[in-house]
A = this chain, B = another copy of it.
Amino acid sequence: MVKRPDARRRSEKSRRAIYDAALSLVGDVGYPRTTVEGIAARAGVGKQTIYRWWPSKADVLLEAFLDLGERVAEEAGQQPYRIPDTGDLAADLKAVLRATVDELLDPRFEAPSRALAAEGLVNEQLGREFVAKLLEPQLQLYVERLRSAQEAGQVRAEVDPRIALELFVSPLAQRWLQHTGEISHTYTDTLVDYALHGLAPR
Protein backbone atom coordinates (compact mmCIF):
# COMPACT_ATOMS: atom_id res chain seq x y z
CA MET A 1 0.00 0.00 0.00
CA VAL A 2 1.37 3.42 -0.93
CA LYS A 3 1.24 5.87 1.98
CA ARG A 4 -0.07 9.36 1.40
CA PRO A 5 2.86 11.78 0.78
CA ASP A 6 2.00 13.82 3.89
CA ALA A 7 2.07 10.80 6.18
CA ARG A 8 5.35 9.65 4.64
CA ARG A 9 6.93 13.06 5.11
CA ARG A 10 5.82 13.17 8.74
CA SER A 11 7.10 9.67 9.23
CA GLU A 12 10.49 10.53 7.65
CA LYS A 13 10.75 13.54 9.91
CA SER A 14 10.06 11.45 13.04
CA ARG A 15 12.52 8.82 11.90
CA ARG A 16 15.28 11.38 11.46
CA ALA A 17 14.46 12.96 14.85
CA ILE A 18 14.68 9.52 16.47
CA TYR A 19 18.04 8.77 14.82
CA ASP A 20 19.45 12.12 15.99
CA ALA A 21 18.09 11.59 19.51
CA ALA A 22 19.50 8.06 19.70
CA LEU A 23 22.98 9.13 18.56
CA SER A 24 23.21 12.17 20.81
CA LEU A 25 21.85 10.27 23.82
CA VAL A 26 24.27 7.36 23.51
CA GLY A 27 27.10 9.88 23.06
CA ASP A 28 26.03 11.74 26.21
CA VAL A 29 25.24 8.93 28.66
CA GLY A 30 26.77 5.78 27.11
CA TYR A 31 25.04 2.65 25.90
CA PRO A 32 23.99 1.07 29.22
CA ARG A 33 22.09 4.20 30.31
CA THR A 34 20.46 4.77 26.90
CA THR A 35 16.83 3.57 26.91
CA VAL A 36 14.02 3.56 24.35
CA GLU A 37 12.14 5.86 26.74
CA GLY A 38 15.06 8.29 26.81
CA ILE A 39 15.36 8.30 23.02
CA ALA A 40 11.60 8.91 22.71
CA ALA A 41 11.68 11.81 25.20
CA ARG A 42 14.63 13.46 23.45
CA ALA A 43 13.01 12.99 20.01
CA GLY A 44 9.66 14.33 21.23
CA VAL A 45 7.73 11.18 20.30
CA GLY A 46 5.95 8.49 22.29
CA LYS A 47 7.91 5.32 23.01
CA GLN A 48 5.30 3.32 21.10
CA THR A 49 6.35 5.20 17.95
CA ILE A 50 9.82 3.74 18.40
CA TYR A 51 8.62 0.22 19.23
CA ARG A 52 6.43 0.31 16.08
CA TRP A 53 9.61 0.43 13.97
CA TRP A 54 12.34 -1.16 16.03
CA PRO A 55 12.29 -4.03 18.56
CA SER A 56 15.14 -2.66 20.75
CA LYS A 57 17.53 0.22 21.37
CA ALA A 58 20.29 -1.75 19.64
CA ASP A 59 18.22 -1.81 16.44
CA VAL A 60 17.50 1.93 16.57
CA LEU A 61 21.19 2.66 17.02
CA LEU A 62 22.25 0.32 14.25
CA GLU A 63 19.98 2.09 11.75
CA ALA A 64 20.93 5.51 13.09
CA PHE A 65 24.59 4.73 12.39
CA LEU A 66 23.89 3.40 8.92
CA ASP A 67 21.92 6.58 8.20
CA LEU A 68 24.66 8.83 9.61
CA GLY A 69 27.28 7.10 7.48
CA GLU A 70 25.16 7.66 4.37
CA ARG A 71 24.57 11.32 5.21
CA VAL A 72 28.27 12.02 5.85
CA ALA A 73 29.25 10.25 2.63
CA GLU A 74 26.61 12.15 0.66
CA GLU A 75 27.74 15.53 2.01
CA ALA A 76 31.32 14.64 1.09
CA GLY A 77 30.12 13.95 -2.46
CA GLN A 78 31.10 10.28 -2.23
CA GLN A 79 29.27 7.29 -3.49
CA PRO A 80 28.45 5.58 -0.22
CA TYR A 81 29.41 1.93 0.13
CA ARG A 82 31.73 1.81 -2.83
CA ILE A 83 35.47 1.92 -3.21
CA PRO A 84 36.48 3.48 -6.52
CA ASP A 85 38.26 1.26 -9.05
CA THR A 86 40.31 3.56 -11.27
CA GLY A 87 42.93 0.86 -11.92
CA ASP A 88 45.33 2.59 -9.48
CA LEU A 89 45.00 0.59 -6.26
CA ALA A 90 47.15 2.88 -4.09
CA ALA A 91 45.23 6.00 -5.17
CA ASP A 92 41.84 4.33 -4.62
CA LEU A 93 42.72 3.08 -1.14
CA LYS A 94 44.20 6.44 -0.17
CA ALA A 95 41.05 8.27 -1.29
CA VAL A 96 38.76 6.04 0.76
CA LEU A 97 40.96 6.15 3.85
CA ARG A 98 41.22 9.96 3.64
CA ALA A 99 37.42 10.13 3.60
CA THR A 100 37.32 7.74 6.58
CA VAL A 101 39.69 10.01 8.52
CA ASP A 102 37.35 12.96 7.83
CA GLU A 103 34.37 10.92 9.04
CA LEU A 104 36.17 9.78 12.21
CA LEU A 105 37.04 13.41 13.01
CA ASP A 106 33.43 14.56 12.40
CA PRO A 107 32.04 15.65 15.81
CA ARG A 108 28.60 14.16 15.04
CA PHE A 109 30.26 10.78 14.67
CA GLU A 110 32.81 10.85 17.50
CA ALA A 111 30.87 10.50 20.77
CA PRO A 112 28.21 8.00 19.67
CA SER A 113 30.75 5.83 17.86
CA ARG A 114 33.02 5.68 20.87
CA ALA A 115 30.10 4.89 23.19
CA LEU A 116 29.01 2.04 20.96
CA ALA A 117 32.52 0.70 20.38
CA ALA A 118 33.14 0.76 24.14
CA GLU A 119 29.98 -1.23 24.79
CA GLY A 120 30.89 -3.68 22.03
CA LEU A 121 34.13 -4.45 23.86
CA VAL A 122 32.41 -5.69 27.01
CA ASN A 123 29.03 -6.78 25.60
CA GLU A 124 30.02 -9.54 23.21
CA GLN A 125 26.54 -10.02 21.71
CA LEU A 126 26.13 -6.35 20.84
CA GLY A 127 29.71 -6.18 19.61
CA ARG A 128 29.21 -9.12 17.26
CA GLU A 129 25.90 -7.73 15.96
CA PHE A 130 27.40 -4.35 15.14
CA VAL A 131 30.46 -5.92 13.55
CA ALA A 132 28.27 -8.19 11.41
CA LYS A 133 25.85 -5.47 10.31
CA LEU A 134 27.95 -2.31 10.31
CA LEU A 135 31.70 -2.98 10.18
CA GLU A 136 32.06 -6.22 8.23
CA PRO A 137 30.01 -4.99 5.22
CA GLN A 138 32.40 -2.03 4.96
CA LEU A 139 35.42 -4.31 5.20
CA GLN A 140 34.00 -6.51 2.44
CA LEU A 141 34.26 -3.53 0.07
CA TYR A 142 38.03 -3.62 0.61
CA VAL A 143 37.99 -7.37 -0.02
CA GLU A 144 36.31 -6.76 -3.39
CA ARG A 145 38.73 -4.00 -4.34
CA LEU A 146 41.73 -6.14 -3.41
CA ARG A 147 40.33 -9.09 -5.41
CA SER A 148 40.00 -6.84 -8.42
CA ALA A 149 43.63 -5.74 -7.87
CA GLN A 150 44.68 -9.41 -7.72
CA GLU A 151 43.01 -9.99 -11.10
CA ALA A 152 44.90 -6.96 -12.43
CA GLY A 153 48.19 -8.38 -11.10
CA GLN A 154 48.67 -5.55 -8.59
CA VAL A 155 48.34 -7.74 -5.50
CA ARG A 156 50.04 -11.13 -5.11
CA ALA A 157 47.66 -13.99 -5.93
CA GLU A 158 48.37 -15.91 -2.70
CA VAL A 159 47.38 -12.98 -0.43
CA ASP A 160 44.16 -13.36 1.60
CA PRO A 161 42.32 -10.05 0.98
CA ARG A 162 40.37 -10.27 4.26
CA ILE A 163 43.63 -10.25 6.23
CA ALA A 164 45.44 -7.86 3.87
CA LEU A 165 42.95 -5.02 4.35
CA GLU A 166 43.70 -5.04 8.09
CA LEU A 167 47.23 -3.75 7.41
CA PHE A 168 45.81 -0.29 6.63
CA VAL A 169 42.33 -0.35 8.22
CA SER A 170 43.25 -1.62 11.70
CA PRO A 171 46.06 0.88 12.44
CA LEU A 172 43.64 3.74 11.71
CA ALA A 173 40.96 2.09 13.86
CA GLN A 174 43.32 1.55 16.78
CA ARG A 175 44.73 5.10 16.72
CA TRP A 176 41.22 6.52 16.67
CA LEU A 177 39.76 4.14 19.27
CA GLN A 178 42.62 4.06 21.75
CA HIS A 179 44.18 7.52 21.21
CA THR A 180 47.51 5.85 20.42
CA GLY A 181 48.42 8.50 17.84
CA GLU A 182 47.25 11.30 15.58
CA ILE A 183 45.23 10.46 12.49
CA SER A 184 45.60 12.43 9.25
CA HIS A 185 45.64 12.00 5.46
CA THR A 186 49.45 11.80 5.51
CA TYR A 187 49.24 8.98 8.04
CA THR A 188 46.78 6.86 6.05
CA ASP A 189 48.71 7.50 2.81
CA THR A 190 51.79 6.14 4.56
CA LEU A 191 49.93 3.04 5.74
CA VAL A 192 48.86 2.25 2.17
CA ASP A 193 52.42 2.68 0.86
CA TYR A 194 53.90 0.46 3.57
CA ALA A 195 51.23 -2.22 3.13
CA LEU A 196 51.54 -2.40 -0.65
CA HIS A 197 55.33 -2.26 -0.88
CA GLY A 198 56.31 -3.90 2.42
CA LEU A 199 58.81 -2.88 5.05
CA ALA A 200 61.69 -4.96 3.67
CA PRO A 201 63.86 -3.58 0.83
CA ARG A 202 62.87 -4.63 -2.68
Contact = CB atoms under 8 A, between A and B. Distances in A.
A181 B163 CA distance: 9
A177 interface: yes
- Among A124, A146, A159, A171, max chain B CB count under 10 A is at A171
Contact of A190 (B163, B194, B198): B163
Interface residues of A, number: 51
What's the dominant secondary structure at chain A's contact region?
helix
Interface in A116-170: 117-122, 124, 127-128, 131, 135-136, 139, 146, 153-156, 159-160, 162-164, 166-167, 169-170
A170 B187 CA distance: 14
A122 B115 contact: yes
A195 interface: yes
Contact of A156 (B117, B179, B200): B200
A174 interface: yes
A124 B179 contact: yes
A191 interface: yes
Contacts of A164: 194, 199
A30 B167 CA distance: 31
10 contacts: A30-B122, A118-B121, A120-B179, A124-B179, A139-B180, A156-B199, A166-B170, A170-B173, A198-B198, A198-B202
Interface of A: 30, 114-115, 117-122, 124, 127-128, 131, 135-136, 139, 146, 153-156, 159-160, 162-164, 166-167, 169-171, 173-175, 177-181, 187, 190-191, 194-202
